[in-house]
Structure 1
Amino acid sequence: MALIIPVNLRPVAAAEDVLGIQAKAAILVDSNSGKILYEKNSSTPLPIASMTKMMTELLVNEAVKKGEISWDQKVTVSEYAHKISQNTGLSNVPLELGGKYTVKELYEAAAIYSANGATIALAETIGGSEKNFVQLMNDKATQLDLGEVKFVNATGLVNKDLQGMHPEGTSPSDENIMTAKGVAKLAYSLINQYPEVLQTSSIPKKIFQEGGKYPVKMDNWNWMLPGLVFEYQGMDGLKTGSTDSAGFCFTGTAKRDDQRYISVVMGANSYNSRFSETAKLMDYGFSNFEKITLVEKGQTVKGHKTVKVVKGKDKEVNVVAKDTVSLAVKRGEGKNYKADIKLSGKYIDKDGNIVAPIKKGANVGQIVIKSSKNDDLGFITGKDHSYDLVADKNVDKANWLVLTFRGIGSFFGNLWDSIVSGISGLFK
């Protein structure tokens, strides 16, 4: 019978001394908005071990989406991937030298069983070499603005464990480094861009190459999945990791009803404690926070219904939320949050007007979430999180005749205003 970690229904504060998270660093984030709900040393760079493989998963999914590779594509195992896969001291599924495996098989081995040889095979398939793939990893980290980060290999191992085959330009003592905030942002990007990754990360047990020559039983290292030792309601991902230098790490994600949280624990004291500390974070989220909606999809922001349009058939247009604007906040504190707008982009002139023509759905700026609380922790995407603001209809450019008459009307209107102001001044 699985051990169920109970939810603490008594509200608690997010202070470190109250939650008592026993780890070097930790963070809890609302998966919908990226709102930070709790953090401990979240900006301290630390080794991330096999949580690295979330970046590999992201790049694999991206390559599939772009059509650069396919899930059923056969990958031929190199000598490097083969040698690492034969190391029984590491997490692995043994791969035959020159053997052929599908991208999907290797991906599942990496995501479920943290198989290092399989991860290297994927890296070589996408980058041509692990060295090139590491460059892709660092480029993507910059693109996602993950903060202080260094990738030196695709697996998360310390380079010394790569048997002298570590990527050119790196040293045997190198390992991948990131902050808890950066790891959370990586997980946030991964599951929001490719939610299907959770279909794989939630698999508790699977046979690698079932029915094949050398089938291998893969037990998911995430023991908080349903049916496993530290089963936690709603848990369906995401990635464990451990090395001597990193300690025990875990990026978890769980969903109940329409609310999902992401947690990161780095440098926990033991294999089991990374799960008990994750449970504390998740309990805190589900017990103490609620989801509020500030603007519905297709609706205007309070106090900012229309924007003036210049050179258009219409003189103004409604600006609305492209997507629903919602976030998790401490219960009863929704009143402290409000939405505001910031006009920007190619359709906005220096005076803050929209310039026609413009199509329905065109981006005209951002909806920014603001908090009146001094102790607000902000978002992993930045202190002021933003959502797209769009025009709610087409506005065609007015023809020259309409623009001419508007100009004449404006001229005489301004002239009349000047005359009235002058006459009024005589009687002051």
Structure 2
Amino acid sequence: MANIKAHLVQLQNNLKVAKNEGQPKPDIGHFIFKGSPGTGKTTVARAMSRILYEMEMLASPKIVETSGSDLTGEYVGQTKTKVSEKLGQARGAVLFIDEAYELGKGSYGEEAMTTLLAAMTDPEYRGIVIIIAGYEHEIDEMLDRNPGLKSRFSNSFYFNDWSATDTRNFLMQELKSKYEIRDEDQRQIELIILQRIQRLQALPGWANARDALAIGKKFQIIRSERVVQFPESIPTIQLAEIDRALEEMIRERTPAKGEAAIRGGRNQSSAYPRQLSAPPPQQQFASSHEEREVTRPQSPISGEDLTHDTEELSAENGGNHDEENADEDDDDLLNADFSYLLGGTRDSGVSDEVWEELEAIKRRYFEELERLRREREIEKLRLELEKQKATQERIRRLCSCPMGFAWYQVGGGWRCAGGSHYVSNEQLQANFMQ
């Protein structure tokens, strides 16, 4: 925001000098806002309309918002009428045209550009500030086709995309403003959000702040499934709920096989300086290098190293599979939702010591599965999950949990996720491991 603030200060100083010297008010000019969706272009335009009004450079704080496609008619003469109507509404105020590059498409789009250019030189519309906005490349192409229109926009600002860290910081601030988050959980939540956002930003359709707000709404919706049954006096949100919301959005955005998987529309070259960054939250976190460090994964059940070569493992377990079916199975496993592993409501009478130990074990187990998924150890993960599910089923048959919670290995035995049910290794061995 520094450059646009500096520009407004320059305008204000110019206005003061003109007043002191008895000169006419200086011309504000017109603006180009370039950037991807959700980078704050509309928000800044609204703020500018109020600021320019308070500086007495506009007759009204109003902003008339439209788009290039809305201004383009379907028959001869309709386009001119639409543009003139919006210009009339914006007299003495700001006219904001999003996706303005649509103005340059087709014969009716050319008519819109001609009408707009005429208005910018017409004394009747002298008090209007016009802001056009859209993707950098498309805006540049449109203006290159019409040098007359290009010369009328003397102020150009670029709105940078949000980084994964910017988005993570924003979401953490949103979560902290609504929910109680334990200090020992915060770091894990930050890492999960950062990793999922990095995956989201590599898919088509990422919309920066717009998507960050949509993710926040998903958090609320998924959390409500738990809280509607178990109301909380102090609102909390679980790591599994956060992860599930992000994974759902990833699945929704992932293209079908054969489609391009890399997001387009975020152009990196520009004929104008990148002058405006979307304002990221101010809280600072560890570097991305530190956040990517992972330890060599081990099985949470057996403790064995799980980084063996997958080809050797495949040979040991029956050799080759049909390639197409294997690919589909791998995709299903990579997109699997492991959030159920973190489930469980604390049973009454369970001590803080037992519960804290159990929660730590749940988190470690969840983390190991996530690491395995990230490293694409598909076959080993499949076998590990089968082993885990078989063990869980044996324990349920021996000592069932009435809530149906999963079981976790603690010390010399296994405890259910609720904390109050326990079966020793000796009992398990005696009944099922012979």
Relative to total residues, which structure has the larger strand share, 1 or 2? 1
Fold conserved between structures, TM > 0.5: no
- Structure whose CA Rg is larger: 2
TM-score by length of 1: 0.32
